[in-house]
Amino acid sequence: MALTFFIIFTFLVSPIVSEPLLSTYVVHVDTKTRPSHYLTHDEWYNSMIESVLDNTIDSNSASPRIFYSYDVVLQGFAARLTDQESKRLNYGLWPKSNFGDDVIIGLVDTGIWPESESFNDNDLGPIPSRWKGKCVDGIAFNATRSCNRKLIGARNFVKGNNIQSPRDQDGHGTHTASTAAGAEVAGANVFSFAKGKARGIVSKARIAMYNACEKTSCADSDVLAAIECAIKDGVDILSLSLEYGSDPFYEDPVAIGTFAAVKRNISVAWRISGKSYPLVYIGNCLRKNNARYEAKGKIVICNTSRFEAPTNGILIQKANGVGLIQLNHDIEGQGLRAMAYTLPSATLGDISTTRLKMDPRRVKFNILSGTSMACPHLAGVAALVRSIHPDWSPAAIKSALMTTSTSFDNAQLPIIKSEDMELATPISIGAGHVNPESAIDPGLIYDVDTSDYVKFLCSLNYTEKQMKLFTNEANPCSDSSGSTPLDLNYP
């Protein structure tokens, strides 16, 4: 998806004997656009080639694709490419999709910090005319000043104890929104690390934020209301980095809400959580009378000092808590020393950054990882595909992403698991490493509509009542007699 524009000439039209699918191309490159994090032109060129490689060709057995690099007679290189690879290199996915300018991504998350440079609307055209949503004022959130042609919608759905505002009190929603559709920001870095341009997957897509979550939890009713509003507002893509996915479909509010979205041709990227334990912040665990009731089955966060720490561990273990995180308030730092606990525990410094501009710990950007951050990446790629194929169904877009993915990473090595650095299993990998360039021309499409999903669930012996709860339809299984799970046209 490189922004550099190339002029490519076929230098040798007859295919190379050992690999009949490959021909030789001389690639001219505007080297002034080389990103600063590439130390050499050759490193940059190799990255370009890796981004367009055809997954059907065994890169391990092939000789190097780039075999000449030029810097005097011209700026560029000679490489062996397939016809499709040369087309991807000649006209990248970003310019071809106009950077997702006409796509609206809705995010159900913790809100947004509109002052971030990632949400500037420089070089953006008018808001798509089909948009029906709006920005709503809230505490510390002036809709007129906060929203623009980039951030076109912002609403609050949290009815709990947090401030009633679309403003992000956690940072999670701001991060996911900028990952999916953040505008280009030059000079982004985290304490001088990873310095370069920051941009979302679709840097010109429009953002609508639906604040439905507090720092550690999301209420089912709030999430459903947010999804309903997003559907009515006219979003094209929904991104949901939420902790759901373990309940039966008919009891899962996100499954019910996103099924309604797919019915209306909205693609959904949803983080399906694995087994995890909820967090609960109790404060001073020794002084909280009901700590023993709140801790059961949860990871408990306690304020502490070096004198209270061991007692907290005993208390939480007796209350059947599964883990303990202690926030140290000792300015002298003695509370950070290692403690002996009888359950999984950690002690963290709780001296946070101030709001003062001169505080050197304040940063505009951060580096985060995990399924919450993978989700908006996928939402952004889905937006790119939709920009190029606006007539494709959500299932077609999903199929294109899945069938063109690979079980190798961007270094052409097998994918590994982050938790133990061992080779990932098929279950861990899922469909694999997404390849946006290939997804726009996947060849075969496995397309389905929502009636096919209904037949699939009916064939799993869901009851009529359960199916009504999920589909919001009368007699949803009336046309499903004889259906089997194998009938679903799934990649």
User: Residue 90: exposed, middle, or buried by beta-carbon count in 10 A (0-12, 13-18, 19+)?
Assistant: middle
Is 172 among the catalytic positions?
yes
C-alpha distances in angstroms, 218 versus 63, 211, 212, 429? 51, 10, 6, 27
Residue among 372, 399, 405, 459 flagged as catalytic: 372
Q: Which of 254, 272, 269, 109 is nearest to 175 (CA)?
A: 109
205 half-sphere exposure, CB direction, 13 A CA radius: 35
What length does the chain have? 491
Q: Which of 439, 386, 384 is nearest to 99 (CA)?
A: 384
Q: Are 18 and 61 in contact (CB under 8 A)?
A: no
Residue among 23, 172, 236, 438 flagged as catalytic: 172
Distance CA(28)–CA(31), nearest Å, equals 9
Q: Are 188 and 195 in contact (CB under 8 A)?
A: yes
Cα 342–Cα 322–Cα 320 angle in degrees, nearest 5: 85
**What is the SS3 assignment for 414?**
strand
Q: Which of 278, 245, 238 is nearest to 261 (CA)?
A: 238
Q: Which of 70, 67, 59 is nearest to 28 (CA)?
A: 70
Is 37 among the catalytic positions?
no
Cα 388–Cα 390–Cα 393 angle in degrees, nearest 5: 120
**What is the SS3 assignment for 260?**
helix
Q: Are 178 and 373 in contact (CB under 8 A)?
A: no
User: Residue 482: exposed, middle, or buried by beta-carbon count in 10 A (0-12, 13-18, 19+)?
Assistant: exposed
Question: What are residue 179's phi and psi, to 5 degrees?
Answer: -65, -45
Residue among 54, 102, 109, 233 flagged as catalytic: 109
Q: Are 197 and 185 in contact (CB under 8 A)?
A: yes
Distance CA(146)–CA(139), nearest Å, equals 12
Is 175 among the catalytic positions?
no
Distance CA(165)–CA(96), nearest Å, equals 37
Question: What are residue 213's phi and psi, to 5 degrees?
Answer: -135, 145
Catalytic residues, by residue number, are 109, 172, 372
